[in-house]
Amino acid sequence: MRIAPQALAEGSLPLLRRPDFRKFLHLHVLGAGGCPICRNVAWLDDRYFSRFQRENFALAKTWNGLTRSLGFCAADGARTVAHPSGQPAVATVHEVLTRRVGKILSRVVSTRRKGSGGGPILAEHDRCPACRSRDDVTGRAASFLATALNDPEALRQYEGLRSVCFPHVQAMARYCGGSILQYVLGVHKIAVDSAAESVAAFDREHGADRNADEENMVGALLKALPLTAGCNRTYDLFEPPLADKPSPTSRGPVENLVEAMSRNDGCAVCIEMDRTWVERMKWLCGKISEGCEFDELLPVCPQHLWAAVCDGPPLLVVASVRNALRIIAGQIRTALDTLAPSSSPARRGMMPRIREAIQGSHRRLGEARDVIGRPLPCPACTLLQAARDRTLMLLSALLKDSLRRNAFERGYGLCLKHYSRALALNPSPEMHAFLTEVEAGKLALLRWELEESSRKSPWSSRPESSGTENTAWKRAVARFSGSFVWSPE
Ligand SMILES: [Zn+2]
Ligand SMILES: [Zn+2]
Ligand SMILES: [Zn+2]
Ligand SMILES: [Zn+2]
C-alpha cells in the first residue's frame, strides 16, 4: 500500500505494516515536510533519467562521459534498468561502451604482448555522469538559497522552514557569508535538538522494545531522518529488506572468495561486499535487539543511513539516526564556536584590532566552512572500503595459483569498477596483464550478445530463436557499474 502524499501533508499517520514503514518515511521526505533542496534535486534527477532514456542516450557527449566514467555508478545503473522505458537506451549506450572500452583493453593487451609495458590507463575513472548532474543541481540550489538569504524577508521565512537536511546545509555553507552562516547553523541547531528530543522521547517510552508500535517509531523519525540524511532516490529499488535475505554462510575469507570467484552470476568483489554488508547488518540487528550500545559501528553517512532504512529493522534505524544527530550537533557546535570572534586583548592598538577584525572574520569563516563541510565519519563506509581493497588483495594472491586462475577465467571475473580499482592498487605486471585479458574477453562476448540482441530486434529477424542475449542489456549494466548498490564513493 502506498500512502498518498496529500495524507502526509495533512499530517495524518495511518497505522503501518512493516514494509510501509520505509515507504512512509521516504514519501515524507519527498512530501511537504522534506528539504526543499532535496525536492528540487529529486525533480531534476527524474528529468535527467527521462531525458537520458528519450534523447541523450544517442549523443556523442553522453557516450564520451560514460566512457570516461566506465558507465554509471551501481545505484544509478540500477535506476536506469528500473526506468519504465529502460531497455533500448541502456542497450544502445552499453553497446557503444563495450566497443570503446573493449578497444582500450585490447590495446593494453597487445602493447603488453609486444613487451612495451603500458601504464594502468583504466586505474582511474571519472565520477558517474548522473551523480555529477546531481552535484551540479545541488550546488546551484544551495547557492541560490544561500544568496536569497541576504534578503531579510527570506531569512525570516528560512527560520520557519527548519527542514533543510544536513547534507544540504553542508552544501549551502560554501556560499554563505559569516553572519548568514551563523544564522543558518543556529536555525539548524534548533531543528537538530528538537529532532533529537523526539527520538529521545521515543527511547524513554519504548527503550529497546522490539515490538514497539511502528506508528510511534515513524513519529520519532519523521523529523529526524530527513533532517539527518535528506532524501535518497535509491530507496525504491531495493527490496526485500534484510530480514528476508538468507544469512551468509560462515566460512573463512579465503573460502568465501574462492567460491565467489567461480560464480558466473556476478563480480567476485561485489559479491563479497554484499556478503560483508549483510553480515554486519544482521550482527547489528541482533545486538540492537539485545539492547547493546555500539554507536561507533552504526551507519552515519546519508547513503548508509538510507541503506539501514531499506535493510534494517526500525530499532536499528532509530539508533543510527540518534547517533548521527549527536555527531551532527557536535559538528554544528564546533562550527559556531569557530565563527564566534575571539576576545582580543584590550591593550592592543587600534590598527591591530581593526586588522584582526577584518582578517580574523575571513579566517574564521573559512575554518567554519571546513568544519561544517567535513564528511561525517561513517563506519559503514570504512568497512566497505576495506572489504573492497582487502578482497582485491586476496584475489591477487589467490591468482598466483594457475588452477585458481583457470577458475577465475571460467567465472564472471570483475565488474569494470573493481577491475579499475584492482589496477589502482598497483598489481604486478603479470597480474595487470592477466586481469586485462580476462576483462577484454568478457567484454568482447558481452558486445557480441548486445549486437546480436539489437540485430534480432527488427521484425524481419523475429523468426530466429533467441537465447541469453535478451538479457545482455541488464548484464551490461552490472558489468560496468557493479551490482553492490551501497558501495562507498
Ligand atoms: Zn536536502
Ligand atoms: Zn551515480
Ligand atoms: Zn564489482
Ligand atoms: Zn557510509
**Residue 350, amino acid:** M
Confidence band for 58, pLDDT divided at 50, 70 and 90 = confident
Residues with CB under 5 A from ligand 3 (ion): 267, 269-270, 415, 418, 482
Mean pLDDT, rounded, for 454-477: 73
Place of cell 544551495: 142
Nearest to 121 by CA among 166, 74, 68: 68
Which tens digit of pLDDT belongs to each residue from 351-401?
Answer: 666 666 666 788 899 999 999 999 999 999 999 999 999 999 999 999 999
CA of 374 to the centre of ligand 2 (A): 21
User: What pLDDT does 121 receive?
Assistant: 77
Confidence band for 13, pLDDT divided at 50, 70 and 90 = very low
Distance CA 165, CA 232 (A): 12
Which tens digit of pLDDT belongs to each residue from 113-135?
Answer: 666 655 567 889 999 999 999 99
**Residue 453, amino acid:** S
Mean pLDDT, rounded, for 317-332: 93
Question: What own/partner pairs with CB < 8 Å and gap ≥ 24 does 153-159 have?
Answer: 155/180, 155/183, 158/183, 158/184, 158/187, 159/187
CA of 231 to the centre of ligand 2 (A): 15
Q: Which ligand is nearest to the CA of 80?
A: 2
- Under DSSP, the state recorded for 171 is H
Place of cell 559479491: 271
Identify the residue with better confidence: 487 or 342. 487
Confidence band for 44, pLDDT divided at 50, 70 and 90 = confident
* Centroid of chain to Cα 32: 24
CA of 98 to the centre of ligand 2 (A): 19
CA of 72 to the centre of ligand 2 (A): 5
Which tens digit of pLDDT belongs to each residue from 167-202?
Answer: 999 999 999 998 999 999 999 999 999 999 988 887
Confidence band for 425, pLDDT divided at 50, 70 and 90 = very high
User: What pLDDT does 128 receive?
Assistant: 96
- The helix/strand count (H/E) of the chain reads as 21, 0
Distance CA 37, CA 145 (A): 9
CB 226 within 8 A of CB 165: yes
User: What pLDDT does 296 receive?
Assistant: 87
CA of 171 to the centre of ligand 1 (A): 9
Confidence band for 16, pLDDT divided at 50, 70 and 90 = very low
- What is the chain's percent helix, strand, coil content, to nearest 5? 70, 0, 30
User: What pLDDT does 134 receive?
Assistant: 92
CA of 164 to the centre of ligand 1 (A): 5
pLDDT above 50 (res 15): no
**Residue 279, amino acid:** E
Distance CA 439, CA 412 (A): 9
Mean pLDDT, rounded, for 416-433: 94
Confidence band for 437, pLDDT divided at 50, 70 and 90 = very high
Which grid cell sits at 198?
523526539
Q: Which ligand is nearest to the CA of 415?
A: 3
Alpha carbons within 13 angstroms on the beta-carbon side of residue 413 total 23
pLDDT above 60 (res 235): no
Q: Which ligand is nearest to the CA of 167?
A: 1
CA of 274 to the centre of ligand 3 (A): 10
Which grid cell sits at 130?
548522473
Distance CA 374, CA 370 (A): 6
CB 106 within 8 A of CB 114: no
| Mean pLDDT over the full length of the chain | 82
User: What pLDDT does 466 receive?
Assistant: 64
- Under DSSP, the state recorded for 176 is -
Confidence band for 18, pLDDT divided at 50, 70 and 90 = very low
Rg from Cα positions in the chain: 25
pLDDT above 50 (res 312): yes
User: What pLDDT does 12 receive?
Assistant: 36
CB 372 within 8 A of CB 335: yes
Distance CA 142, CA 136 (A): 10
Confidence band for 238, pLDDT divided at 50, 70 and 90 = low
pLDDT above 80 (res 8): no
CA of 343 to the centre of ligand 4 (A): 38
Which tens digit of pLDDT belongs to each residue from 63-104?
Answer: 999 999 999 999 899 888 888 777 889 999 999 999 999 999
User: What pLDDT does 461 receive?
Assistant: 56
CB 443 within 8 A of CB 469: no
Mean pLDDT, rounded, for 425-430: 91
Residues 6 or more apart from 98 whose CB is under 8 A from it?
Answer: 443, 444, 446, 447, 450, 476
